């Protein structure tokens, strides 16, 4: 994968924002940052003393040098000082998108005002941004001032934020991420909004966290857009890039120190590994959701704090599609088993779920039911396993009141934090590797991400699923995950009893 990211932006002599912040933030996320400098600012922690735009010829020479040798996967754009620069950059982006073997993604942070309050761009640039640049932008990341400057919409509440995002999208930006760092709504919180016309599934969401009280926030906008660019270059979905960028900024604000007499820079740290720094995915029915007037699909979709699993480590977890396999696994000593029947009739399901619960008791195993939470409650199953889409429809209040355990599937950082809102009984991460059991296109996490998820969710029993066989069970277990869920590694084994024994050995030897 191409991990080259360009930043086309201005230099901040104070070292806290612009090109300097971009390169440091990119470094923190393991991508190679290249630069095309658009302006030399003379600034320090007290303000901007001079703004010297670079000529379009000099900017172009930087772009030509890079494009002939180090094509970017993502191009991050910051300060563009005048209309000529906007036109030049737009022409180049159009050419790259049309001719490069892989069209670069463009992340645009429309830097207009420095944190000192100084204007960083000529005032007539807005129409050139709208007409030339926005149609080429994949993600735009304005703060509230910049949103107001670009759209003319004053952000008095959530509906105005949505309206402004729609306006930016109508001008061509595919995804709009409006940062609420300067917006004190609700009081004491920092709420960000994202509308993404390019992604599948839910394409509108809000993230929030308590505001971090520090004056030293210089460079947060540049750093946030750079982290988003870096994560996109590494193939992360925008939702996850957004989550990680917020967590990185929160971590950096907590560690920020002053170097001059005025506003210090946000600290450039490392991959965020403390859950306290991560934002909340704001759900309808949560306190922040109520503050933002989110409508709940029904009154039963929000419940939190499900019955704990018997053990923190669930060990080998067999996911099976029949009573035949359920009994074989239980009889072989597998303690955690899931009945996952797709395409069965209501009648078959009812019979199978009732029988599965009985088998669980007979062999002293814990039987989870996939999807069919009503039948699971009716027949007193040990637990139910739900996917992200199911969470909007399931009666979580009834599941919680029944005392059943609830396991939730997650595919990435966004979904992990969404699942965390419900404080489930366990948290599953997948698909770790490609699998033929289920279409997981675009949702393969890999071992590196699993290594991040597990410590972040260390309060829960954790499960890894997807493409895991005996040859991979050891490296998966070495991440510290407490359980490995498999379908084919058992059902397609030439000797399933041996496979179960070997998998158990590989998983448990890491305890």
Which entry of ligand LCLJCK34, Mg ion, ligand TZP, none binds 431, CB below 5 to 8 A by partner kind? ligand TZP
What SS3 class is residue 220?
A: helix
Residues 384-443 that bind Mg ion (CB under 5 A): 387
Q: What does each C-alpha distance from 126 to 52, 112, 132, 164 come to in angstroms?
A: 19, 10, 10, 15
439 is in an annotated binding site: no
Residue number of the CB atom closest to ligand LCLJCK34: 387
The distance of closest approach from Cβ of residue 377 to ligand TZP in the complex, given in angstroms and rounded to an integer, is: 22
Q: How far is the CB of 387 from ligand TZP (least distance, A)?
A: 8
The Cα–Cα gap between 339 and 359 comes to 11
Other beta carbons less than 10 A from residue 64's beta carbon? 12
Q: Are 77 and 106 in contact, with CB atoms under 8 Å apart? A: yes
Q: Is 138 annotated as a binding residue?
A: no
In whole angstroms, give the CA distance from residue 305 to residue 184: 30
Give min distance, CB of 359 to ligand LCLJCK34, in A: 18
Nearest to 75 by CA among 232, 247, 268, 194: 232
Cα–Cα distance, 367 to 318 (Å, whole number): 10
Lay out the site mask for ligand LCLJCK34 across 371-410 (x = CB under 6 A, - = otherwise).
Answer: x-------------xxx-------------------x-x-
- Binding partner of 338, given ligand LCLJCK34, Mg ion, ligand TZP, none, CB within 5-8 angstroms per partner class: ligand LCLJCK34
Binding-site partner at residue 112 among Mg ion, ligand TZP, ligand LCLJCK34, none, CB < 5 to 8 Å by type:
none
CB 365 within 8 A of CB 377: no
Binding mask 310-329 for ligand LCLJCK34 (x = CB under 6 A): -------x-x----------
Tell me whether residue 90 or residue 435 sits nearer to ligand TZP (CB atom).
435
Contact status: 12 vs Mg ion (CB under 5 A): no
Verify binding: residue 479, ligand LCLJCK34, rule CB under 6 A: no
Residue 484 burial by CB count (10 A; 0-12/13-18/19+): exposed, middle or buried? buried
340 is in an annotated binding site: yes
Residue 191 binding partner per list Mg ion, ligand TZP, ligand LCLJCK34, none, with a CB distance cut-off of 5 to 8 Å that depends on partner kind: none
Cβ proximity to ligand TZP: between 190 and 464 the closer is 464
Q: How far apart are CA 167 and CA 153, in angstroms?
A: 9
Minimum CB distance to ligand LCLJCK34, residue 388 (Å): 7
Nearest C-alpha neighbor of 167 from the set 157, 153, 180, 177: 153
370 binds ligand LCLJCK34 (CB under 6 A): yes
Cis-peptide into 333, omega within 30 deg: no
Q: Is 437 annotated as a binding residue?
A: yes
Shortest spacing between CB 437 and ligand TZP, in angstroms: 3
Go through 15-41 and write b for each residue having 16 or more CB atoms within 10 A of its CB, e for each that does not. bbbbbbbbbbbbebbebbbbbbbbbbb
Q: Rank residues 48 and 465 by Cβ distance to ligand LCLJCK34 and give the closer one.
A: 465
CB of 431 to ligand LCLJCK34, least distance (A): 8
Rounded to whole angstroms, how far apart are CA atoms 310 and 334?
14
CB of 317 to ligand LCLJCK34, least distance (A): 6
What residues make contact with ligand TZP under the rule CB under 6 A?
A: 430-431, 435, 437-438, 440, 465-468, 486-489
In this chain, which of 140, 176, 485, 507 binds ligand LCLJCK34, going by CB under 6 A?
485
Residues 366-385 that bind Mg ion (CB under 5 A): 370-371
Find residue 13's DSSP bridge partners: none
CA distance 38 to 81: 7
Please report whether residue 430 would count as binding ligand LCLJCK34 according to CB under 6 A.
Answer: yes
Maximum Cα–Cα distance across the chain: 79
Which residue, among 391, 208, 203, has the nearest Cα to 291 in the 3D structure? 208
- Closest contact distance (angstroms) between CB of 385 and ligand LCLJCK34 is 5
Q: Which residue, 372 or 452, is less far from Mg ion as judged by CB?
A: 372
> Residue by residue, what is the 3-state secondary structure of 100-150?
CCCCCEEEECCCCECCCCCECCCHHHHHHHHHHHHHHCCEECCEHHHHHHH
Binding-site string for Mg ion from residue 330 to residue 369, where x marks contact by CB under 5 A and - marks none: ----------------------------------------
Q: Is 15 annotated as a binding residue?
A: no
| 309 near ligand LCLJCK34, judged by CB under 6 A | no
332 annotated among ligand-binding-site residues: no
Nearer to ligand LCLJCK34, 170 or 436 (CB): 436
* Shortest CB 383 distance to ligand TZP, Å: 16
Taking alpha carbons only, the member of 487, 360, 385, 369 closest to residue 436 is 487
Q: Residue 459 CB, nearest distance to Mg ion (Å)?
A: 23
Which pair of structure tokens corresponds to residue 43? 């600034």
d(CA 1, CA 72): 11
Phi, psi of 285 (to 5 degrees): 95, -15
Taking the C-alpha atoms of residue 159 and residue 457, their distance in angstroms, rounded to an integer, is 33
Q: Which residues bind Mg ion (CB under 5 A)?
A: 370-371, 387
Residues in binding site for Mg(2+) = 371, 390
Q: Which residues bind ligand LCLJCK34 (CB under 6 A)?
A: 317, 319, 338, 340, 370-371, 385-387, 407, 409, 428, 430, 438, 463, 465, 485
């Amino acid at each position: 994968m191409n991990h080259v990211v360009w930043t086309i932006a201005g230099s901040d002599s104070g070292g806290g924002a612009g090109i300097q912040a971009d390169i440091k933030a990119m470094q923190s996320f393991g991508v190679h940052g290249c630069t095309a400098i658009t302006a030399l600012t003379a600034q320090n922690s007290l303000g901007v003393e001079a703004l010297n735009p670079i000529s379009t010829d000099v900017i172009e020479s930087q772009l030509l040098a890079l494009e002939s040798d180090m094509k970017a996967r993502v191009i991050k754009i910051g300060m563009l000082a005048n209309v000529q620069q906007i036109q030049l950059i737009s022409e180049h982006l159009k050419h790259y998108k049309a001719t490069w073997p892989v069209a670069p993604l463009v992340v645009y942070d429309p830097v207009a005002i420095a944190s000192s309050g100084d204007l960083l761009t000529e005032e007539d640039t807005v129409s050139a941004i709208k007409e030339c640049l926005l149609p080429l932008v994949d993600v735009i990341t304005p703060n509230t001032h910049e949103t107001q400057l670009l759209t003319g919409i004053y952000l008095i509440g959530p509906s105005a934020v949505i309206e402004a995002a729609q306006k930016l999208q109508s001008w061509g930006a595919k995804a709009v991420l409006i940062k609420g760092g300067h917006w004190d709504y609700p009081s004491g919180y920092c709420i960000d909004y994202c509308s993404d016309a390019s992604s599948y599934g839910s394409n509108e969401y809000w993230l929030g966290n308590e505001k971090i009280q520090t004056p030293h926030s210089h460079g947060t906008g540049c750093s946030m857009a750079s982290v988003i660019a870096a994560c996109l270059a590494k193939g992360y979905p925008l939702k996850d890039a957004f989550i990680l960028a917020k967590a990185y900024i929160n971590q950096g604000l907590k560690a920020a120190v002053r170097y001059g007499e005025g506003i210090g820079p946000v600290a450039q740290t490392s991959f965020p590994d403390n859950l306290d720094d991560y934002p909340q995915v704001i759900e309808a029915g949560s306190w922040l959701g109520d503050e933002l007037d989110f409508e709940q699909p029904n009154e039963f979709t929000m419940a939190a704090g499900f019955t704990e699993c018997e053990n923190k480590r669930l060990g080998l977890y067999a996911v099976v599609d029949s009573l035949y396999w359920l009994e074989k696994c239980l009889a072989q000593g597998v303690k955690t088993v899931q009945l996952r029947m797709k395409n069965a009739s209501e009648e078959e399901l009812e019979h199978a779920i009732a029988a599965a619960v009985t088998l669980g008791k007979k062999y002293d195993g814990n039987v989870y039911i996939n999807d069919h939470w009503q039948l699971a409650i009716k027949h007193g199953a040990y637990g139910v396993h739900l996917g992200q889409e199911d969470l909007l429809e399931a009666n979580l209040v009834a599941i919680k009141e029944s005392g059943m355990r609830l396991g939730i599937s997650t595919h990435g950082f966004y979904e992990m934090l969404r699942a965390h809102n419900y404080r489930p009984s366990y948290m599953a991460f997948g698909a770790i590797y490609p699998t033929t059991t289920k279409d997981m296109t675009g949702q393969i996490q890999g071992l590196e991400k699993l290594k991040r998820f597990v410590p972040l969710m260390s309060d829960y029993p954790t499960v890894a699923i997807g493409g895991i066989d005996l040859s991979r069970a050891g490296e998966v277990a070495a991440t510290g995950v407490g359980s490995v869920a498999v379908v084919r590694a058992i059902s397609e084994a030439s000797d399933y009893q041996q496979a179960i024994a070997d998998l158990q050995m590989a998983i448990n030897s890491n305890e």
